[in-house]
Chains A and B, each alone.
Chain A
C-alpha cells in the first residue's frame, strides 16, 4: 500500500471534468486506487464516488494505491492534481 497526500488546487474543485480525467487515468492501471476525504473513501474508477467527495479547492485528500503498478499510479494521479487537471 502506497499513500500520499494530494491537494485539490484547481479553482473549481473536484468537478465533472477533473473527475472524468481521474477515472480515465485510473483505468490505465491494474492496482486499486482510492481517495479519502475525512473518512469518506472513493474508488478512483468511480465517477459518482469522486463527485460525492464534494472536494472544493484547497481540500487535502489521501491517495492510496495497492497492487503491482501502485507506484506509477500514485505518480500519475498526483501529477493530475498538481497540474490542476490540465490537458497533457
Chain B
C-alpha cells in the first residue's frame, strides 16, 4: 500500500480503479509520406484545423453555459493558438518539405511549443503549456477521427489520475463514470478543484510526483476530506473505507426520501435549510436536495483561477442564472470575500505580514470602489430575476457597513436613472465574523435587514487561531464556549428586533452542532447542499425542547472539548443512525 498526501479540494470518499492519463502518454507514429501524397496531407490538415476550430468553439459555448464566460473564454484563446500563422507555416514546412504525415507534423510543432512554454521561467507561460497540449490533442482527434485519449471511454467506477487536467479534458467527463479526480499539480483555486466541486465528486490535487507509482487498473482510495490517497490499499484500510462508504450509501438512500419534507422538529418547529454555493451550476444540487434557498452564494469563483478581471456582464450572467434557477427561493449573494487565503489571480495588494488581519473582504472592496461597483451593479441588475438579498462579508465597524450600503444606494440610483428596475424589497445584511461586530450588534441592528454568522472566521478571530497553521489548528474549535456565547448574543439581539439570524459556516454541516444552534434559537442554517439531507434528518428526529436542553447545558460547559464530547453523546442518544456518518 502506498499512502500519499495532497490538498483536499472537494469532499467525499471514493474507492475505485485508477485510470491514469499521462500527459505525454500517447505517441504518434512518425510516419513519412511520398512526395505525391504531401499535398493530400496538407489538405487533410486544413480540414482537421477547421473541424478542431468548431470543436473548440462548441466546447467554449458549453463551458460558458455551465461555468460562465470566464472559463469559456479559454477556448476562444485556444482557437487563436490553432490558427496561429507560425504554427501553420511550420507544419506546412514539415509536411511539404520534410514529407511528414499530418499527425506527425502536428505533434512535432505543438510538442516543441509546449516544451518551450513549460521551460519558461514565468509561471504564466508554464501554465499555458496545458493549453497548447489541449489544442494539439483536439487537432489530432480531428485528424484521426478518434480520441487520442479515452476520456469518453472511461469505464464506470474510475478515478481519474493525471498530472493536471486541461479544461478540455474535464469538460468531456462522463459524471456517471468518474468517481473522483486526483492530480499531481493544482491548488484549491485551480480548474480541477472547481470542476470537482461542481460535479460533487471527491478530489485531491497538488499531490506531487506520483504517476510513476501508479498504473491504470490499480485500486485507489481518495479521501477528499483529508486529502489522502491510498494506492493498492491494504485490507484493513480498504475495510475501513468500505464500511464508511456502505454506511454513507445506506443513509443517503434513506435520506433522499426526505427531500420534499420540511425540516421541522417532531413538535413542529420549522428550521430553514439553505445551501452554500460557489458555482452557478450548483443550483441543481440545491434543488435536488430540497434546499429552501441559497443562504450563501460565494462570488469569489469569478476571480479565482482566471487570468482576467471578470466584467460586469460575467457577474451579471452568473447571478441571474442562480436567481432564476432558484425559482423565487431566497438567494443571499455575498459580495467579494477576497484577500488572505482566497486571493485571486490579480493580487491587488502588496504581500502582507498578517493577511487575515489585513486588507481583505469588505475592506478590500471598499478600498477598490471601482471593482466593488462593478459587482454591486451586476447584483442589482440581476436582482429582479428572483428573490435576491445582498450581504457584506467581514463587517467589523458600523462605518464599514454604512460605506458599503452608501455605495450600494448610489449604484442603485444610477441604475434607476438608466431605467433599470430594482426590487424595492431588496434586503441588505451583513455577515457576523468578527467579535467586534457582535459586541456592537445592538448599534448595527437598526441599519441592517438580516445577519448571517460565518462561524469559520468568527472562530478564527475569536480564538486568535489560524486553522491553516498545523501547529495551532487543534485550538480551532467552532464549539468553543467563547464562540457559542457570541453566537448566542447575536441571536438574542436580532430576535429582539424581529430580524433573522442565519448560520452559514461549516458548523451548520455538523448534525450535533446544527441541533445545538437550533437549541440556541437559530431558525435558519446554510450548509453544503450535500449535507442538507442529514441535517434535515437530525432536525426531524428531535423536539425543540431536546435541542434547548442541549444548548442550555452546552453553554454552561467550560471547554471546547467538553462541549464536543457532550454534543456527540447527545447526538448518539437522539439520532443514533446518523452518528455513523461522522
Contact = CB atoms under 8 A, between A and B. Distances in A.
Interface of A: 10-13, 15-20, 23-24, 43, 45-49, 51-52, 54, 56, 85-87
Given A20-B80, A45-B85, A47-B80, A12 B308 contact: yes
Given A47-B77, A48-B84, A48-B113, A15 B346 contact: no
B73 interface: yes
B580 interface: no
B125 interface: yes
Given A46-B84, A48-B87, A16 B113 contact: no
Given A43-B86, A46-B84, A17 B77 contact: yes
A54 to B, nearest CB: 4
B76 interface: yes
B81 A54 contact: no
B308 A46 contact: no
B84 A16 contact: no
A16 B85 contact: no
26 contacts: A11-B309, A11-B347, A12-B124, A13-B124, A15-B307, A16-B73, A16-B74, A16-B131, A18-B308, A20-B73, A20-B76, A20-B80, A24-B80, A46-B84, A47-B77, A47-B80, A47-B83, A47-B84, A48-B113, A51-B125, A51-B128, A52-B117, A52-B120, A85-B308, A86-B311, A87-B311
A16 B77 contact: yes
Given A11-B346, A12-B346, A56-B122, A48 B81 contact: yes
Most buried by A among B124, B309, B347: B124
A48 B125 contact: no
Provide the main secondary structure of the chain B interface.
helix
A63 B121 CA distance: 24
Nearest to B86: A46
B348 interface: yes
A23 to B, nearest CB: 5
The 8 closest A-B pairs by CB, nearest first: A47-B80, A16-B77, A20-B77, A11-B346, A15-B307, A54-B122, A12-B307, A46-B86
Interface of B: 73-74, 76-77, 80-81, 83-87, 113, 116-117, 120-122, 124-125, 128, 131-132, 307-309, 311, 313, 345-348
Contact of A23 (B80, B307, B309, B345): B80
B146 to A, nearest CB: 27
A10 B124 CA distance: 14
Contacts of B84: 45-49
Most buried by B among A18, A19, A46: A46
B81 A15 contact: no
Contacts of A23: 80
Given A16-B128, A86-B311, 8 more contacts: A12-B346, A15-B124, A16-B307, A48-B84, A49-B84, A49-B86, A52-B117, A54-B121
Contacts of A56: 122, 124
A13 B125 CA distance: 11
A43 B88 CA distance: 13
Contacts of A49: 84, 86
Contact of A11 (B121, B131, B348): B348
A58 B124 CA distance: 15
Nearest to A47: B80
B51 to A, nearest CB: 19
A52 B85 contact: no
B92 to A, nearest CB: 14
Nearest to B121: A54
B343 to A, nearest CB: 12
Nearest to A13: B124
Nearest to B308: A17
Nearest to A87: B311
B428 to A, nearest CB: 29
Most buried by B among A15, A16, A20, A43: A16
Contacts of B117: 51-52
A59 B499 CA distance: 53
A13 B309 CA distance: 12
A11 B303 CA distance: 13
A87 B121 CA distance: 29
B284 to A, nearest CB: 28
A54 B120 contact: yes
Given A12-B307, A17-B73, A54-B122, A46 B85 contact: yes
Contact of A54 (B83, B125, B307, B347): B125
B344 to A, nearest CB: 10
A24 to B, nearest CB: 8
A48 B135 CA distance: 12
A50 B84 CA distance: 10
Contacts of B313: 87
A1 B79 CA distance: 30
A18 B73 CA distance: 11
A46 B277 CA distance: 39
A19 B77 contact: yes
B517 to A, nearest CB: 41
Contacts of A54: 120-122, 124-125
Contact of A15 (B85, B87, B132, B308): B308
Nearest to B135: A47
A84 B308 CA distance: 10
A24 B85 CA distance: 13
Contacts of B131: 16
A87 to B, nearest CB: 6
A18 B80 CA distance: 12
A52 B116 contact: yes
Nearest to B81: A47
Contacts of A87: 311, 313
